[in-house]
Structure 1
Amino acid sequence: MSKSRRLLYLGNGRALQSVARLDERFEGWNLAVDRYWALDGQFPESLDGYDAIFLSGSPHGAYEDVPFILREHELIREAARRSIPMLGICFGSQILASALCGRDQVFRRPNCEIGYKDLAVTSSAGDDALARDWGASVRMFVWHNDEVRHDHPDMVILASSDACPNQVWRHRTVPAWGIQGHPEITRAQAPAWFSQNRLRMEKDGGDVDGFIAEADEAAEAKTMLSRFAELVRNG
């Protein structure tokens, strides 16, 4: 049997593992997962031996001068020099953009975008290694107060919403992808996730009971996650 590919899982949230348990899903896709709680200052001494990196969401902004954020910027740029594939969700997408395209690429929105949305998929997704399974639109839950600009020359936009032109993107030359929304949450996990974040979501204008009632598997959006695992396994 071939040796398992190693994935560096950087947890940027209030806990190392989120409700989504995406780290366990990556293991289910036959990747060897090394977990580091970046927000708590945990990082590997070196990127030697890693075949891919996943970057999670966070309550922080990628533009903040916080020690773990500054260190993660350096790690991302080192991974880019080594051509290590990277995938980021929410804050993970934002810090990828900040590290690879400039700190001015992430900004605070005037209002929160929150709710299930059908994102318009661009023609660039058709031949993208991760997004090629998508049709004309892809449904997922979005929730963000920060946003990644969409007009940088090294950004290829893969999906947009009516309120955010850069919902999903990839870098033009580096094997890096960012997803602003939350395709990782399953329908079964959604009620617990929404309940856990009720106060914050309601403060951001969300109808949490409505979200629970319309909880969606977002199965098509999840193919981007499994495609990333496939890309890593295939080297």
Structure 2
Amino acid sequence: MKIGILQTGHAPDELIETAGNLDQMFRTLLDGHGFEFETYAVLDGVFPTGPEAADGWLITGSKFGVNDGHDWIAPLEDLIRAIDTKGLPLLGICFGHQIIAKALGGRVEKFEGGWIVGRVNYQHDGKELALNAWHQDQVTKRPARARVLAGNETCANGILAYGDTIWTLQPHPEFNSEFIAGLIEKRGRGVVPDARLDAASEGLDGPVDSAKIANFMADFLKKERA
């Protein structure tokens, strides 16, 4: 099964050598599930010919915001709607989560409580789900079709599903604690309040459910649909 990775951001140059770029992180996360991957760096103007170019799709995170007005954002929204119309499986993570919501009629805004960084717990099916997060924007109004699968008091729309073809989440299952630590130093200082970064650093030793989410993502992409 071919998965098209729609890359909407780059990892900091200082972290790429050890962690890989954002698309590579998802290749690593989903390794062992039999996927073939092709990356389309949409932020650099590289787009697929259409939704049929892959069997399933994944949109990465980004340092950019969905409301920033970059010239690649509107074509990406068009592609999202085309993938949706075709009924192909689509995953979105952080920026991907937000741009899918925006493209399908939702609203994304900066969280009034500021940045959410580090290990975060979400309520999912009556249980806690722990994942690393790094965001200021979030989905504040869901598209009419979207249903909430997980959230918490600072991020009500943590995981959204649209029918059985689109599944999106605000946090980052592809980010391990080392990468978050790197982001704190390379992108966080001077942007995110130090107290919030320090608190995030102190919580990085806690376990996260990335492997569980990776298995779900793989199953979601591969499952048979009518």
Q: Which residue of 2 aligns with 1:130?
A: none
TM (norm. structure 1) is 0.79
Q: CA deviation at 1:48?
A: 1.9
Out of 23, 47, 63, the residue aligned to residue 67 of structure 2 is 63
Change (3 A) 1:118 1:35: same
Q: CA deviation at 1:209?
A: 7.3
Q: Which residue of 1 aligns with 2:171?
A: 181
2:51 counterpart of 1:47: yes
For the 8 Å contact 1:194–1:212, the answer to whether it is kept is no
For the 8 Å contact 1:108–1:145, the answer to whether it is kept is yes
Q: Which residue of 2 aligns with 1:81?
A: 85
Q: How do residues 51-200 of structure 1 correspond to structure 2 at under 5 angstroms?
A: 51-102=55-106, 105-110=107-112, 111-122=114-125, 136-171=127-162, 173=163, 175-199=165-189
For the 8 Å contact 1:19–1:193, the answer to whether it is kept is no
Worse overlay, 19-28 or 156-165: 19-28
2:207 counterpart of 1:207: no
Residue 8 of structure 1 aligns to which amino acid in structure 2?
A: G
Residue 9 of structure 1 aligns to which amino acid in structure 2?
A: I
SS in 1 for 2:97: helix
SS in 2 for 1:138: strand
Out of 225, 229, 235, the residue aligned to residue 214 of structure 2 is 225
For the 8 Å contact 1:185–1:217, the answer to whether it is kept is no
For the 8 Å contact 2:90–2:166, the answer to whether it is kept is yes
Segments of structure 1 that go 5 or more residues without pairing to the other structure are 123-134
Segments of structure 2 that go 5 or more residues without pairing to the other structure are 12-19
CA separation in 2, counterparts of 1:226 and 1:28?
Answer: 10
Alpha-carbon RMSD: 2.6
Q: Which residue of 1 aligns with 2:27?
A: 23
CA separation in 1, counterparts of 2:128 and 2:24?
Answer: 23
Residues 159-215 of structure 1, C-alpha deviation per residue, up to 9 Å, x if partnerless?
1122121111111x3611111112222245443344333426644752247526633
CA separation in 2, counterparts of 1:55 and 1:204?
Answer: 29
Worse overlay, 111-120 or 26-35: 111-120
TM (norm. structure 2) is 0.82
